[in-house]
Chains A and B, each alone.
Chain A
Amino acid sequence: MTAPVGSTARTLEVRVWRGKEAGRYQSFEVPRQESQTILDVVTYIQRELDHTLAYRYACRVGMCGSCAMTINGKARWTCRTHVTSVGDRLEIAPLANLPVVKDLVTDMAPFFDKWARAKGHFHATQTRRDGFAAVRPDSPQRLQIDAAIECIGCGVCYSSCDVVHWLPEFLGPAALNRAWTLVNDVRDGARVERLAAVAGDAGCHACHTQMTCTERCPKRLQPTAAIAGLKRASLVVALAGAL
């Protein structure tokens, strides 16, 4: 619901999730400012109306991804979401698909555990004595990496994914996207092991390309493209009998 241009409402009706997985929405009335983000609204509530509200933020300028929450049903960065783009009535909840620590704070451990399970880390094959690896910036694989490397692990994609909701063991878009950048890294020494880790029922093959992750990624990444690439790469390795 978008506020009409030149809305004259002086206050916002804000419902904020309180509690853990079991809890309730608490209503607040927040003064409307001319230029106001959802993070401004949550901060106002915590500082002026209810000190017991728990929430996370850090940079407040759209760089760190810490402030991601569910706003009127959609996972977004609260510091980068203007109230005018949502409306006068706000419903603010913690990110979906993650355990709730308190109120708007989620436990990100499962998200990063899956990152590790997808082998989202680099395996070196050379030492400092071997000289620099020559990777052309315009090589096809490096271009694939460039398109996917800017992920800062904010959890918006993971929180938006229906398959994560249906299949708790599904690795999720972020972990798979990161694995894709490493699969394309010609210096990496664990390509086949990584493909084995990300393939199958709990991996890239569970993705139905619903594209909510790509639609909502604040860094405009395309996890669905990365997952499609992983599907292709893993099939080639499986057919070769190497998986």
Chain B
Amino acid sequence: MKVRTQVLLWGAQRYTAMVLVFCVVVHLITIVYATRYGLTAAQILDRTQGNLGWAAFYALFVAAVAVHAAIGMRAILSELLDWRGAALDALLVCGAVGLTLWGWRAVWGVFA
């Protein structure tokens, strides 16, 4: 992998981290709110179905997680298992795509 790509991956890691700080705070607030006020599944779905705002927020959250986790796991696996190279990178790209699709499927599940 070229040095420029490695540097841009690091940049993407930093920027998705900033997005995730925002997303995690909002997500925690919604969880605490939902449990504090005893929202049922039906009541939650009532708020998310057809709501483009929530769909967009969680779609962004999923994408940021997929990018951030894949880049992070690249560093962790190379340090832990002494594993580097194209095979690791390919596996992680698959992982990121899988997380994105699986996550967006879940977002669609509460939006549609």
Contacts and interface: CB of A to CB of B under 8 A. Distances in A.
Interface of A: 163, 166-167, 196, 199-201, 203, 205-206, 231, 234-235, 238-239, 241, 243
A196 B3 contact: yes
Q: Taking chain A's interface residues, is the majority helix, strand, or loop, or is none over half, making it mixed?
A: helix
Contacts, number: 36
Interface residues of B, number: 12
Contact of A201 (B8, B11, B84): B84
Interface string B56-79: 000000000000000000010011
B33 interface: no
B6 A205 contact: yes
A162 B7 CA distance: 21
A241 B7 CA distance: 11
Q: Taking chain B's interface residues, is the majority helix, strand, or loop, or is none over half, making it mixed?
A: helix
A1 B1 CA distance: 46
Contact of B7 (A163, A166, A167, A200): A200
Contacts of B84: 201
Interface of B: 1, 3-4, 6-8, 10-11, 75, 78-79, 84
Contact of B4 (A163, A166, A231, A238): A238
A196 B7 CA distance: 10
30 contacts: A163-B79, A166-B79, A167-B79, A196-B3, A199-B3, A199-B7, A200-B3, A201-B1, A201-B6, A201-B78, A201-B84, A203-B3, A205-B6, A205-B7, A205-B10, A206-B75, A231-B10, A234-B7, A235-B7, A235-B8, A235-B10, A235-B11, A238-B4, A238-B7, A238-B8, A239-B11, A241-B4, A243-B3, A243-B4, A243-B7
